[in-house]
């Protein structure tokens, strides 16, 4: 069954994408949760009109994301955490602390867009985090976890 997505769904597609999914998944989950609509002729025409109107906005957002990605590669963050003598952190460093550190540097990035390898950092050292800025544009942020 073909459906038009109404929001970004991880590992399936982005908003306004037409994707083919199993009938039960569409009928029992996507459509009742208002995450998608059936891709019939009428909805496809509406989608074409919406996409035509959004193309200018998308170009602007894509350019901003590419600029932000280039700027983020130059940024180096230092995140302080309480640590023991062996270098292990009490607790962990995750996307929330990285988002806060980026906000201090002047980059307002949603914490949900930051991906840390292994979900959290539990030792001191240097790491990189990926930032999903736009559909296919990803930036990298280098950060160092130091003892407070």
Same domain, yes or no, for 78 and 103? yes
pLDDT band at residue 136 using 50, 70 and 90 as cut-offs: confident
98 class by beta-carbon count within 10 Å (0-12 exposed, 13-18 middle, 19+ buried):
buried
Q: How far apart are CA 58 and CA 61, in angstroms?
A: 5
What is the average per-residue pLDDT within 12-22? Answer: 93
Same domain, yes or no, for 12 and 38? yes
Q: How much is the pLDDT for 118?
A: 74
Q: How far apart are CA 65 and CA 68, in angstroms?
A: 5
Same domain, yes or no, for 79 and 142? yes
Same domain, yes or no, for 124 and 72? yes
| N-term to C-term CA, the chain | 55
Q: How much is the pLDDT for 57?
A: 85
The angle subtended at Cα 64 by Cα 17 and Cα 18, nearest 5°, is: 0
What's the whole-model pTM score? 0.65
The residue from 15, 41, 60 where one domain ends is: 60
pLDDT band at residue 22 using 50, 70 and 90 as cut-offs: very high
The residue from 34, 60, 86 where one domain ends is: 60
What is the average per-residue pLDDT within 100-129? Answer: 89
34 class by beta-carbon count within 10 Å (0-12 exposed, 13-18 middle, 19+ buried):
exposed
Q: Work out how many domains the chain is built from and give that number.
A: 2
What is the average per-residue pLDDT within 4-27? Answer: 93
What is the residue range of 142's domain?
A: 67-147
Q: What is the CATH number of the domain that holds 111?
A: 3.10.430.100
Same domain, yes or no, for 78 and 140? yes
Same domain, yes or no, for 46 and 76? no
Same domain, yes or no, for 44 and 73? no
Same domain, yes or no, for 76 and 122? yes
Q: Which residues pair with 36 in a beta bridge?
A: 5
What is the average per-residue pLDDT within 19-47? Answer: 95
DSSP string covering 70-135, please?
HHHHH-EEEEEE-B-TTSEEEEEE-HHHHHHHHHHTT----GGGEEETTSSEEESEEEEEEEE-SS
Same domain, yes or no, for 85 and 16? no
Same domain, yes or no, for 40 and 82? no
């Amino acid at each position: 069954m073909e459906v038009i997505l109404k929001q970004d769904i991880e590992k399936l597609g982005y908003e306004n994408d037409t994707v083919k999914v199993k009938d039960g998944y569409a009928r029992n989950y996507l459509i009742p949760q208002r995450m998608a609509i059936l891709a019939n002729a009428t909805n496809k025409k509406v989608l074409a009109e919406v996409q035509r109107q959004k193309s200018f906005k998308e170009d602007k957002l894509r350019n901003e994301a590419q600029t932000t990605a280039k700027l983020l590669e130059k940024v180096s963050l230092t995140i302080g955490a309480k640590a023991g003598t062996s270098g292990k952190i009490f607790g962990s460093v995750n996307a929330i602390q990285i988002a806060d550190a980026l906000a201090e540097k002047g980059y307002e990035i949603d914490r949900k867009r930051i991906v840390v390898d292994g979900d959290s950092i539990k030792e001191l050292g240097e790491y990189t985090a990926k930032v999903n800025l736009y559909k296919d544009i990803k930036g990298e942020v280098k950060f160092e976890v130091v003892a407070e």
